[in-house]
Amino acid sequence: MGRFLLVLPIVLLLPLYVVFHQGVWESRAQVRQSTPPGFLIPSQFSRVLAFGYKGVLSDYLFLKALTFYGGRGQNDQVLTEEDWQYFIACLDVVTDLDPYFFDPYILAEGVLTWDAGRYVDANRLLEKGRRYRTSDWRIPYFISFNYFYFLKDYAKGGEYMMEAARLPGSPAYLPNLAARVAYYGDQTKTALFFLKQMLADTKDPVMLVSMQTRLAALEQTVLLEDLVKKFRTEQGRDLVHLDELVSFGYLGKLPPEPYGGQWVMNKAGRIFSTSKFAKTPAQGSASPQ
């Protein structure tokens, strides 16, 4: 009986919270310029108020976050710093209540990155999803994209892409994409190791051919980069042109580039190809590179 008396106020407070929040929401729409985004009960208290219905409250708050963002856009209103903080806080509470709920992570990836430029906040929320949705390849894939595309951290992008490619149900092209991301992140040998591991687990004949071509390209890249370093050490200067590896006897001839491109070297001694390790339309491609 005593336990029932303790729980009863919580049960009564939840609908009051919903009604109060709805009233604030509606009145705020009328006086947008003079009111803050709204009050949000922190996660630790929302969990208590939900009383076994965390999923329901999570859905409700997610709908509020969607409506809040959509309403601003519909009225051509630029979100203020306060607005963005409220929006992020909503997604935080939603995912604290139900960390397996996928839609908030999609919203974070689509809005916080492209619209708000808040890549760190987006990745922080996605990391929460990664901890709980451990078999969902999309979460590390999103994080990888943010590091690679927005933050220009190619090494981190490669790491997360490789993680995504290892998870069940991930697209067949991810291993090659992961290798390319890692390659541009100055992680050629990491990409090489990763591809070798993936080749050992791959049964699809089309993907085998594709990954073997990628593997050959990375092996040649590693060879050339190692020889560039050796040349610098032994000759006491930087290589001027890759042909010097042949004229100085480090190679009999430059290895062919598997994708049909030309080897090029940047000032740091990194090796790239004009093909960008992707087949041209004339060559055809069995799968995305």
| Structure confidence at residue 220 (pLDDT) | 93
Is residue 18 located within the same domain as residue 101?
A: yes
Q: What are phi and psi of 81, to 5 degrees?
A: -60, -40
Cβ atoms of residues 139 and 130 within 8 Å: yes
Residues 6+ apart with CB under 8 A from 16: none
The answer, yes or no, to whether residue 125 has pLDDT greater than 90, is yes
Is residue 129 located within the same domain as residue 190?
A: no
Residue 77, CB half-sphere, CA atoms under 13 Å: how many?
16
Cα angle 257, 259, 152; round to 5? 95
Give me the sign of the Cα torsion angle 178, 179, 184, 185. positive
Tokens representing 129 are 């999803």
Tokens representing 180 are 């390319």
The residue among 159, 165, 209 whose CA lies nearest residue 184 is: 159
DSSP state, residue 79: P
- On whether residue 145 sits in a domain, the answer given is no
Domain that holds residue 46: 1-134
Residues 6+ apart with CB under 8 A from 227: 245, 250, 251
Is residue 208 located within the same domain as residue 124?
A: no
Is residue 81 located within the same domain as residue 189?
A: no
Is residue 185 located within the same domain as residue 125?
A: no
Is residue 181 located within the same domain as residue 276?
A: yes
Number of domains in the chain: 2
> Could you write out the DSSP letters of every residue in 139-180?
HHHHHHHIIIIIS--HHHHHHHHHHHHHSTT--TTHHHHHHH
DSSP state, residue 110: I
Is residue 201 located within the same domain as residue 255?
A: yes
pLDDT, tens digit, for every residue of 32-69? Answer: 333 455 666 666 556 655 566 677 788 888 888 888 88
Is residue 67 located within the same domain as residue 120?
A: yes
Q: Decide which of 179 and 99 is more confident.
A: 99
- On whether residue 141 sits in a domain, the answer given is no
Neighbours of 132 (CB within 10 A): 13
User: Among 134, 158, 186, where does a domain finish?
Assistant: 134
The residue among 113, 96, 176, 164 whose CA lies nearest residue 136 is: 164
Is residue 2 located within the same domain as residue 125?
A: yes
Is residue 184 located within the same domain as residue 248?
A: yes
pLDDT, tens digit, for every residue of 6-41? Answer: 444 544 555 555 555 555 445 444 433 334 556 666
